Chains A and B, each alone.
Chain A
Amino acid sequence: GAGVSQTPSNKVTEKGKYVELRCDPISGHTALYWYRQSLGQGPEFLIYFQGTGAADDSGLPNDRFFAVRPEGSVSTLKIQRTERGDSAVYLCASSPQSGGRNEQFFGPGTRLTVL
């Protein structure tokens, strides 16, 4: 079946602009996660949704970052007033449920470049 998909695959923007990154999880997966991977580093947790609600947003770096999942499926990560330091690959993952035993299935990522 279809895996996790993310759009766009690449996004180039200018400092100060607003961007939206989209994630389509695997159908039926109730848990959805966003991570950020900077060059040469491992992914870092940003936010986790169980259904429509953000169950843990402790990884969001500041209030310029926001994410929604209004219908419990597709999620959008929103970044306001982008900064050059926001440049990274943003990864989305989903899992069948929120239990810790489940592995997460990752999408290919969106590479964000802030000029």
Chain B
Amino acid sequence: AQSVAQPEDQVNVAEGNPLTVKCTYSVSGNPYLFWYVQYPNRGLQFLLKYITGDNLVKGSYGFEAEFNKSQTSFHLKKPSALVSDSALYFCAVRDINKAAGNKLTFGGGTRVLVKP
């Protein structure tokens, strides 16, 4: 079985400060990892993914995430947060093992509030 934990329901940060949203995962094999963002009354928007290779992946809107296999983590980061980054962020995992299927398993989400 695969699972994702996002330990923080909400993260508050001042505009211009670094932003980190935490994610840990559990899979039986190796993971494919994804981050999505959800704005009010909007669908999920893809931010970035880790498939293989460099542990630091860069994505849309200045976001990046670091894959850490030993800690089974995939934390999302942004060096300087903007008020417009305020949204709901979801981490998701898929087991690389085809037998596990193609479904994504999502965490419960972390609400980010960036204050001016």
A residues contacting B by CB (< 8 A) are 3-4, 31, 33, 35, 40-45, 48, 50, 55-56, 58-59, 91, 93, 98-101, 103-109
Contacts and interface: CB of A to CB of B under 8 A. Distances in A.
Nearest to A45: B103
B109 A100 contact: no
Contact of B32 (A33, A41, A58, A101): A101
B104 interface: yes
A103 B48 CA distance: 9
Interface of B: 4, 32, 34, 36, 41-46, 49, 51, 90, 92, 94-96, 98, 101-109
Contacts, number: 67
B51 A43 contact: no
Contacts of A43: 44, 90, 104, 106
Contacts of A100: 32, 94-96, 98, 102
Given A41-B109, A42-B109, A103 B46 contact: yes
Contacts of A35: 104
B1 to A, nearest CB: 11
Nearest to A104: B104
Nearest to B31: A100
A98 B102 contact: yes
A101 B105 contact: no
Contact of B43 (A42, A50, A58, A91): A91
